Amino acid sequence: MIALLVRFVLGPLARAVYRPEVRGVENVPADGPVLLAANHRAALDTGVITFATPRQVKFLGKAEYFTGKGLKGKLMAGFVGGLGYIPVERGNAQAGLAALEAARKVLDAGGVFAIYPEGTRSLDGRLHRGHTGVAALALATGAKVVPVALTGTEGLQPGGARIPRLAKIGITFGKPLDFSRYEGQDYAPAIRRSVTDEVMYAILEISGQEYVDTYHKRPSEGVA
């Protein structure tokens, strides 16, 4: 029930209030497996993608979102479920493999899955080198990859504000990328790197960000 309210009530309400500029939505295939590869500017990016995409989108989310106790826990579980989150454990290599498998199941079933190849939010506004998980999924499932550029979402919660602010935001869906030419080569590291770089360049073209060919460090690794 809560999930339906999020998608069919909160979604239209958010679009009416924030009026995001949505471009290229026709580039999202109407059926079949689709991998949305987006830049990551803010914690609310997932909501923007969910409400702007014509098909239901799935994301990976911390299992803790779904295990809270009491009414608050149930509300949180319903909310993140409505946004399309799939609960996964995190913290080690085994968890990483489980996360990829969960994403693969969505794509194998012909669904839409969204991923942030940078691995974490960009704290400096630049587009950073992508991790090759996006390539692994695209090559293993044959899913079309749609590059996605989010703009202005960092202004929704400046300074970590708890209540979202009004901000001019936009989302652009680029032309689908087809990597079927690499069929059967999904385990080759060089191919995965090449595919990932192609995806990141496609995001760069529509986002207009400065590109940095280094991985972005998480806050816990010393980025202020």
Distance between CA atoms of 57 and 64, rounded to whole angstroms?
Answer: 20
- Which residues lie closer than 8 Å to 223 by C-beta, 6 or more apart? 123, 216, 217
Q: What is the pLDDT along the chain (224 residues), one digit of tens a residue?
A: 566 666 667 777 777 777 889 999 999 999 999 999 999 998 889 999 999 999 999 998 777 777 788 888 888 777 777 778 888 776 666 777 788 899 999 999 999 999 999 988 898 999 999 999 999 999 999 999 999 999 999 888 876 677 778 888 999 999 999 999 998 898 899 999 999 999 999 999 999 999 999 998 765 544 33
- Write down the CATH number for the domain with range 21-59+86-158+165-215: 3.40.1130.10
* Packing angle, helices 11-18 and 45-52, rounded to 10: 100
Distance between CA atoms of 72 and 51, rounded to whole angstroms?
Answer: 23
* Two tokens, residue 31: 């059926």
Question: How many CA atoms, within 13 angstroms, populate the side-chain half-sphere of residue 194?
Answer: 11
Distance between CA atoms of 113 and 7, rounded to whole angstroms?
Answer: 16
Reduce the DSSP state of residue 148 to 3 states and report it: strand
Q: Where are the domains of the chain?
A: 21-59+86-158+165-215
* pLDDT score at 220: 54
